[in-house]
Amino acid sequence: MKFKITYLKDYPEFIPTVAKWVYEEWADKNKKSLKQVIQEFENYCNKDKIPIAFVAVDRETPVGLINIWENDLDSKEDLTPWVAAFYVIPEYRNKGVGKALMEKALGKAREMRFKIIYLHAETAGEYYQKLGWKLIEDTINDKGEASKLFKYEL
Ligand SMILES: CC(C)(COP(=O)(O)OP(=O)(O)OC[C@H]1O[C@@H](n2cnc3c(N)ncnc32)[C@H](O)[C@@H]1OP(=O)(O)O)[C@@H](O)C(=O)NCCC(=O)NCCS
């Protein structure tokens, strides 16, 4: 499998596609429109300051996404930064795209001299533990659903 991981800033034409993945997977549709999520992704087109979005690209098509955000949980405003909106399209799962996206995001956070990075996950907890993330606590997400808070020492 040949794919590359790069900044969303290099592929602004992918914004509607990646925003749709995130909207479909996570958005509280009573509170947010797809248009708002698209606008948010326009703000994630940075390379040297947070928020930063990375995309996995195969044959000039987006196949995965990962982000570094300042915060991803209202109840944990004191913690920063976060890995968020981590997604690989179903046809490309279990081929190492997720792992490569995660390595890119962690490498960038390290380069920016952060010592710890956080994420929360409603599902896929085992996946993160396999990648070296440590469970901090059970928590709830902004929609009131059960989620798990993890940290990674960079
Ligand atoms: C989680 C996700 C990004 C992983 O991407 P991926 O490209 O499939 O990951 P990789 O190919 O690097 O790793 C696949 C491995 O993770 C495991 N895995 C994938 N999803 C998992 C899950 N939900 N729980 C536990 N393990 C999981 C696979 O079994 C596989 O294990 P193996 O290496 O032992 O065979 C992808 O499955 C996805 O987009 N899921 C839907 C969105 C999502 O849940 N995002 C994270 C929510 S917080």
Domain ranges of the chain: 4-153
How high is the pLDDT of residue 140?
96
- Which residues touch 137 (CB under 8 Å, ≥6 apart)? 148, 149
Q: Is the CB of 127 under 6 A from ligand 1?
A: yes
Residue 6 and residue 66: Cα distance in Å, rounded?
Answer: 10
Q: 123 CB under 6 A from ligand 1? A: yes
Residue nearest atom 4 in ligand 1 by C-alpha distance: 98
> How much distance in Å is there from the Cα of 17 to the middle of ligand 1?
20
CB of 5 closer than 6 angstroms to any ligand 1 atom: no
- CA torsion, points 7, 102, 25, 15, in degrees to nearest 10? 0
Atom of ligand 1 nearest to the CA of 87: 39
pLDDT of 1 > 80? The answer is: no
| Residue pLDDT, tens place only, 62-71 | 999 999 999 9
Whole-structure pTM value:
0.95
Q: Is the CB of 93 under 6 A from ligand 1?
A: yes
> CATH number of the domain at 4-153, please?
3.40.630.30
Residue 106 has pLDDT above 90, yes or no: yes
